[in-house]
Amino acid sequence: MSTVAPLRARQSYRHEAFLWQGRDAYVEGLVPFVLEGLDAGEAVLALVTPEHARWVRDELGPRAADVRFVDMPELGHNPARILPALEEFLDRWCGPGHPARAFGDPMWPGQGPDQLGEMQLNEALVNLAVDPDLPFWLICAYDLEQVDELLLSCVTSSHPVIATPTSYTGSVGYRGRDHAHALFSADLPVLEPPDEDVWVDERSLDLAAEQVTLRATESDLPSDRVVALTDVVRGLVVASVQRGAGEARVRLWDEPEALVCEVADPMVTDDLLIGRRLPIEGRRDPVWFANQVCDLVQVRSNQHGTSVRLRLQKEP
């Protein structure tokens, strides 16, 4: 059954999916949402593609200057960077008695399947990262022309409400933390046999780091990215040892368009937000660092252990 959206004064955290098709539906569904927030003195964040930013700016006119626009394909090419950016926005603009709102594009042209998968994990993790009592309203806009049945199932699992231009309905498929845990504990996609495959402990770390550096250099990565990757691998191996693993497995795949590296160990973590929180001053988080320097980072943990897969795109 469709219901009417609750009054803003009664809201806490809200996370909704808006299913749209065509420019008119997009702007008619989201521009009133923006204007209502601006009229109420709320901060409004738009995490959207450049094309959709133009649509919204054209409709808002001068009031577009009051909206904080962020290029979603640039920020979200590694989706693990989205939650920290959202955290910064909320820390500054949202709190008890100070509502804020945001809308975003979880999909865009050219997005790869791994990116889309990580975006869906991010959608589920938002529900764990945001305080449920925070007066924050988030709408995620999905183009129905791009949404298949499998993706729609994932969307309904991570959003308590599904809206369209003509309806506003509670999601019977919403699974909350269970959905986030299911995505986080799934195995990573299987790749071809790696070009390098070594087990590394603290004594062999220097030698392994040299192998990573050599392979990254041979793959034609820029020198600064070679250094960054080597530092990331070192940090991840040390973290594995500190978790009690003793050693970590380091594998590399030299693909035509990217260098892929994975650090895995047999230990299990239940921290679904690993690497997605703003780091505590003075502490070094290797997964956070990986998210800042890699084009894509995928973290999974299940009964087989924990894997961190890194992807660095090569220059054309």
Beta strand 258-265 with 296-302 is unpaired
Res 70: pLDDT? 98
CA distance 178 to 158: 10
Task: Judge whether 252 and 292 are in contact, CB under 8 Å.
Answer: no
To the question of pTM greater than 0.95 for the whole model, the response is: no
Number of domains in the chain: 2
* Alpha-carbon distances, residue 59 vs 17, 35, 73, 99 (angstroms): 21, 10, 22, 23
Residue 190 belongs to some domain of the structure: no
Q: Are residues 202 and 156 in the same domain?
A: no
Q: What is the mean pLDDT of residues 114-143?
A: 97
Q: How confident is the model at residue 9 (pLDDT cuts 50, 70, 90)?
A: very low
- Domain CATH code at residue 238: 3.30.565.10
| Domain final position from 160, 184, 208 | 184
In a domain, 189, yes or no: no
Domain membership of residue 30 (yes or no) is: yes
Alpha-carbon distance of 66 to 63, in angstroms, equals 6
Whether residue 59 is contained in a domain is answered as: yes
Contact 75, 54 (CB under 8 A): no
Is residue 162 domain-shared with residue 45, that is, in the same domain? yes
Q: What is the mean pLDDT of residues 134-161?
A: 96
Q: Are residues 50 and 113 in the same domain?
A: yes
Backbone φ, ψ for residue 163 (5° rounding): -115, 150
| Distance, CA of 209 to CA of 230 (rounded, Å) | 6
Task: Count CA within 13 A, CB hemisphere, residue 247.
Answer: 10
Domain that holds residue 116: 8-184
Clarify whether residues 123 and 36 are in a common domain: yes
Residue 110, domain member (yes or no): yes
Residue percentage of the chain with pLDDT more than 90: 90
122 alpha-carbon distance from chain centroid? 4
In a domain, 1, yes or no: no
Question: What pLDDT, on the 0 to 100 scale, is given for residue 304?
Answer: 95
**Residue 26 included in any domain:** yes
- Reported confidence tier of residue 229, pLDDT bands at 50, 70, 90: very high
- Same-domain status, 215 and 268: yes
Residues 31, 90 share a domain = yes
Rounded to the nearest integer, the mean pLDDT of the chain is 93
Residues 176 and 200 in one domain: no
Domain boundary among the residues 184, 218, 244 is at 184
